[in-house]
Structure 1
Amino acid sequence: MTAAPFAVEVKIIDPRIRDWGMPSYQTEGSAAIDLFACIDAPMEIAAQAPAVLIPSGLAFYMGDNACAALVMPRSGLGHKKGLVMGNNVGLIDADYTGQVFISAWNRNPPGTDAIRIEPGERIAQLMFVPVLRATLNEVEDFSDSTERGAGGFGSTGAGAKPV
């Protein structure tokens, strides 16, 4: 099953994007587009230093409040080098039309090498997702129950009865 294309307007804020190539899906099955580090010179992020905001050089207009975008680390950079998002996942609301920034953090232990980021390096990815906006209806008791109920952290793990 292939999802229907969803048109999103993109504004190029940093003209170097045209030289590096517009972000695109790298494979037929890719769920997200890569974002570039639009920095003027190489930068280093020390291990465990505070997260830094790196401009992506792009702004988006989704045109539909039932859509949002998520900024996430590129899996290879996170796993192999330790570069992750300073806020875990960045949420871009449909009504935000300013430049997207990437919150980058070096999760490696103190004393390890800094992570070097080059201008134009693909350092994050952006995934467009549907948004469900719920109407909250206050109740005294829920209209139905589940087997799990209020069982929280670890309630389905070790020691839980199989279904």
Structure 2
Amino acid sequence: MSAPVLLLQRLPHGADLPLPHYASADAAGLDLVAAVPGDAPLVLAPGAFAAVPTGLAMALPRGFEGQVRPRSGLALKFGVTVLNAPGTVDADYRGEVKVILVNHGPAPFIVERGMRIAQMVVAPVAQIMLEESGDLGQTARGVGGFGSTGLSGA
């Protein structure tokens, strides 16, 4: 079975940046880099957020989505993450992919040109048919909501 093809377009402000790539042979996500101006890095103050350009537009195959996820190293070391994680890039979107970063850390965070800021996992999606029903059937959990299954892992 051949891999689905993701068509990419480098935008003028991202022309010199590397294309997304898998950092290791078994990586699930493609690294996305920041296409901020080289002479004007983006400074995220503690608590601030911004849509960071990637300099890329893409055409995902029909039936797939791009899930924009945080990089664990940025989250652990600096408290910087993707605000709407996972962000979704729909198959019919053709604009620039941007990453909404938020700084939950205690210090300003500098986003520099070419910095790896997020990863994108390309995953299949299913569109379902909706059917309204007065009876959803019974389950062991029932209507138990937040925390209803407890905290213990046993």
TM-score by length of 1: 0.85
| 1:97 aligned partner | 94
Contact 1:52–1:86, Cα closer than 8 Å, also in 2: no
User: Is the aligned partner of 1:52 residue 2:46?
Assistant: no
Identity of aligned residues (%): 35
| 2:109 aligned partner | 115
2: CA distance between counterparts of 1:158 and 1:39?
43
For structure 2, the residue ranges without an aligned partner over 5 or more in a row are none
Report how far residue 86 of structure 1 moved: 2.3
1: CA distance between counterparts of 2:100 and 2:148?
33
Report how far residue 43 of structure 1 moved: 2.1
Contact 2:65–2:90, Cα closer than 8 Å, also in 1: yes
Report how far residue 63 of structure 1 moved: 3.0
Match among 6, 13, 17 for residue 4 of structure 2: 6
User: Is the aligned partner of 1:134 residue 2:128?
Assistant: yes
For structure 1, the residue ranges without an aligned partner over 5 or more in a row are none
User: Is the aligned partner of 1:23 residue 2:20?
Assistant: yes
Q: Secondary structure at the match of 1:79?
A: helix
Q: Which amino acid aligns with 2:15?
A: P
Root-mean-square deviation over aligned CA pairs = 1.9
Q: CA offsets per residue over residues 15-60 of structure 1, 9 Å max, x none?
A: 112xxx32111112111111111011222100012x1111001111
User: Is the aligned partner of 1:124 residue 2:118?
Assistant: yes
CA distance 1:4–1:149, change in 2 (3 Å): farther
TM-score by length of 2: 0.89
| 1:61 aligned partner | 59
Q: Which amino acid aligns with 1:151?
A: G
Q: Which amino acid aligns with 2:57?
A: A
Contact 2:4–2:61, Cα closer than 8 Å, also in 1: no
